[in-house]
Amino acid sequence: MPLVVLDRDGTLNVDDLAFITSAEDWIPIPGALEAVAKLNEAGWRVVVATNQSGLGRGLFDVATLNDVHKKMHKLLASVGARVDAVFFCPHTLSDGCECRKPLPGLITRIGERFGAQLSKVPVAGNTVRHMQAAYAAGGQPHLLLVGKSAQYTRDNLPPDLPPNTTVHSDLHAFADYVLNPSKV
Ligand SMILES: [Zn+2]
């Protein structure tokens, strides 16, 4: 089964808070969950890779993070979508871990867990650090120009983007590209 890796905050849910510290804070971006359904229907497995340093900072605990993800999975299911797993980095920068994006650890682990060859795995999100993690892990970086990256255009991209990054207007455009790359 082919695999896609997505970021969470700013890609699936609205990212206008510094931290999502409760299930109530987790609000899906209009259309984003339907884009996941589109991928699922075409036989793609979707896995999330997310930095959650709020854990390491003590802003919320794992039980709360599980509640947040319970809501996410429920809302996904309500539109016929499914995320197979959520890999998260609970650390802060000072922990010096290898999983905090832009480092590749989370995505490398996903590749191992799902037996995927990362060079064939599209990794989509709306931040440069998610793109850098994708690149460092050997995956395919796909930047979405939404949320904090909505200010950018194809002619005015954020600095430090990996050279092989493909750019899309949103998650639906990304899904369409993945499902039919020759048409875009
Ligand atoms: Zn980490």
* pLDDT tens-place string over residues 121-151: 999 999 999 999 999 999 999 999 999 999 9
Task: Inform me whether the pLDDT recorded for 6 exceeds 90.
Answer: yes
CA 167/CA 7 separation, integer angstroms: 15
Residue 51 alpha carbon to ligand 1 centre in Å? 7
Residues belonging to the chain: 184
Position 20, amino acid: I
Structural domain tally of the chain?
1
Active site members: 7, 9
CATH number at residue 144: 3.40.50.1000
Residue 131 alpha carbon to ligand 1 centre in Å? 16
Predicted confidence at residue 184, as pLDDT, reads 60
* In contact, 119 and 138? CB cutoff 8 Å: yes
**Residue from 81, 126, 125, 80 nearest 107 by CA:** 125
Residues 6+ apart with CB under 8 A from 167: 142, 143, 145, 154, 157
- Name the helix (H) or strand (E) containing 143: strand 140-144
Predicted confidence at residue 182, as pLDDT, reads 76
Residue 2 falls in which region: left (phi positive, over 0), alpha (psi -120 to 50) or beta? beta
The range of the structural domain enclosing residue 35 comes to: 3-183
CA 135/CA 112 separation, integer angstroms: 16
Residue 49 alpha carbon to ligand 1 centre in Å? 11
How many CB atoms neighbour CB 165 within 10 A? 18
CA 12/CA 106 separation, integer angstroms: 18
* pLDDT tens-place string over residues 67-122: 999 999 999 999 999 999 999 999 999 999 999 999 999 999 999 999 999 999 99
* pLDDT tens-place string over residues 12-65: 999 989 999 999 999 999 999 999 999 999 999 999 999 999 999 999 999 999
CA 99/CA 84 separation, integer angstroms: 19
